[in-house]
C-alpha cells in the first residue's frame, strides 16, 4: 500500500496536464482567427484603427481564408505544450499545498487566495521559460503574411514596374520548421527568448485568472455542483479581468517577438514609453477587441472542456495501466 500512494498524485497531475493540453488545442482551433487579427494589430503601427469586419475582409482579399489561420500549426503545438506544462506544475503545487494543509490540521483543504497565486506563479514561470521559443516562431508566422501583403501593395505604387519586381522578390511562406531555422540562422538562438521579460511579467495574467476562477468555484461548490456550463462562465469572467489588466504587456511582448535584427533591443518600460510617444496610450491597447474576445472564449471553452477531458484521461490511463499489468 505504501508503495502505491506516490503513484496517484503523479497520475492525477498527468491527467490534468493532458486535459489542459487537449482543451487548449480545441479552444484555440475554434478562436484562432481572432488571434491573427489581434497579433497583426499589435505589431503594425496604425493598422489597429481598422474596424473588425474591415480587417477580416482585408486579410481574406489579400490572402484568402487561410490568411486568418496563418501560424495555426505552431500555435496548436505551442498551446498543447504550454497547457501541459502549466497544468502539470499547477496541480503538483496544488497537491503540495493540500497535503501541507492536511498535515497542519486545517479544516479546509481548498487553496487560499495566496496559495492559488503562488501555484499560478510557479506554473506560469516554468511555462514561460520552456515555451517562449514556440510563441516567438508563432508570432513571426502570424505577422509575416501581413507584412508581405503590405510590401506588395507598396510595390504596386512604384513606377516602372516596381510592383512586379517586388512580387518576384517575395519569398514563399515558410513552414514552422523553416521559420525556426531562418530565425536561428539570421538572428541566433537568443532571438528565441525575445520578449521573455514581459512574458514573465504576464505570469500575473494566469495568476489573476486562475485565482479568481478558483475562488468563485470554491464559493459556488458550497451551494451547487459546478457543471461544464458554469465553469464556462467562470472561466470567461476570470480571463476577461486578467486580459484587460495585462493587455499593454501583451502588446509589448508581440512587438518584441517581431523586432528586426540589428535594431536596438528595448526594455519593457522603454517599449511601453515608445508606444505611448508614437501612438498615445491607445497604442498599448491595439487589437484589444479581438484579443479579449478570443481570450475569454478560449478560457471559457478550456474550462468547459477540461473537466470532461480530465475524466476521459483518468479512464484511459487506468485502462492502459490495467492492460500493462495484465500483460
Instruction: Look at residue 172 in the predicted model and tell me its pLDDT.
Output: 59
DSSP 8-class letter at 107: S
Instruction: Look at residue 31 in the predicted model and tell me its pLDDT.
Output: 85
Domain parsing of the chain, residue ranges: 7-147+173-326
Please name the residue that has the C-alpha cell 483543504: 109
The answer to whether domain 7-147+173-326 has CATH 1.20.210.10 is no
Residues 77, 134: contact at Cβ < 8 Å?
A: yes
Among the listed residues 214, 86, 70, the one whose alpha carbon sits nearest the alpha carbon of residue 137: 70
Cα–Cα dist 88/166, whole Å: 48
Cα–Cα dist 61/89, whole Å: 43
Taking residue 103's Cβ as centre, other Cβ atoms within 10 Å add up to 8
Cα–Cα dist 281/89, whole Å: 36
Q: Return all residues near 274 (Cβ < 8 A) that are at least 6 apart.
A: 266
CA distances from 230 to 20, 30, 153, 227, 302 (A): 17, 20, 47, 5, 12
- Note the pTM of the prediction, 2 decimals: 0.61
Instruction: Look at residue 321 in the predicted model and tell me its pLDDT.
Output: 75
Residues 204, 299, 197: CA angle, nearest 5 degrees: 30
pLDDT along the chain (327 residues), means of 10: 41 80 88 81 58 76 82 84 88 85 78 81 86 83 58 38 41 72 85 80 81 85 85 85 83 73 71 85 80 80 81 78 76
Taking residue 234's Cβ as centre, other Cβ atoms within 10 Å add up to 23
Helix (H) or strand (E) holding 103: helix 72-103
User: How many C-alpha atoms does 234 have within 13 Å on its Cβ side?
Assistant: 20
Amino acid at each position: 500500500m505504501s508503495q502505491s500512494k506516490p503513484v496517484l498524485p503523479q497520475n492525477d497531475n498527468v491527467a490534468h496536464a493532458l486535459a489542459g493540453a487537449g482543451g487548449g488545442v480545441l479552444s484555440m482551433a475554434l478562436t484562432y482567427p481572432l488571434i491573427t487579427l489581434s497579433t497583426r494589430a499589435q505589431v503594425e503601427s496604425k493598422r489597429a484603427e481598422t474596424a473588425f469586419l474591415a480587417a477580416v475582409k482585408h486579410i481574406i482579399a489579400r490572402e484568402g481564408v487561410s490568411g486568418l489561420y496563418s501560424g495555426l500549426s505552431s500555435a496548436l503545438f505551442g498551446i498543447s505544450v504550454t497547457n501541459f506544462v502549466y497544468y502539470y506544475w499547477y496541480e503538483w503545487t496544488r497537491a503540495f499545498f493540500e497535503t501541507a494543509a492536511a498535515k497542519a490540521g486545517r479544516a479546509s483543504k481548498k487553496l487560499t487566495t495566496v496559495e492559488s497565486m503562488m501555484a499560478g506563479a510557479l506554473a506560469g514561470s516554468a511555462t514561460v521559460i520552456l515555451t517562449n521559443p514556440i510563441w516567438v516562431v508563432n508570432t513571426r508566422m502570424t505577422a509575416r503574411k501581413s507584412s508581405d501583403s503590405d510590401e506588395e501593395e507598396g510595390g504596386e505604387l512604384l513606377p516602372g514596374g516596381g510592383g512586379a519586381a517586388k512580387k518576384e522578390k517575395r519569398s514563399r511562406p515558410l513552414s514552422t520548421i523553416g521559420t525556426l531555422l531562418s530565425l536561428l540562422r539570421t538572428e541566433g538562438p537568443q532571438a528565441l527568448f525575445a520578449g521573455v521579460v514581459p512574458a514573465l511579467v504576464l505570469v500575473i495574467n494566469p495568476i489573476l485568472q486562475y485565482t479568481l476562477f478558483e475562488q468563485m468555484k470554491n464559493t459556488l461548490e458550497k451551494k451547487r455542483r459546478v457543471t461544464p456550463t458554469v465553469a464556462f462562465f467562470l472561466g470567461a469572467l476570470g480571463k476577461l479581468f486578467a486580459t484587460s489588466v495585462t493587455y499593454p504587456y501583451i502588446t509589448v511582448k508581440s512587438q518584441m517577438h517581431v523586432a528586426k535584427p540589428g535594431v536596438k533591443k528595448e526594455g519593457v518600460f522603454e517599449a511601453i514609453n515608445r508606444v505611448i510617444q508614437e501612438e498615445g496610450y491607445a497604442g498599448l491597447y491595439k487589437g484589444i477587441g479581438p484579443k479579449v474576445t478570443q481570450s475569454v472564449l478560449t478560457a471559457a471553452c478550456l474550462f468547459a472542456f477540461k473537466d470532461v477531458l480530465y475524466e476521459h484521461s483518468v479512464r484511459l490511463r487506468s485502462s492502459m495501466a490495467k492492460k500493462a499489468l495484465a500483460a
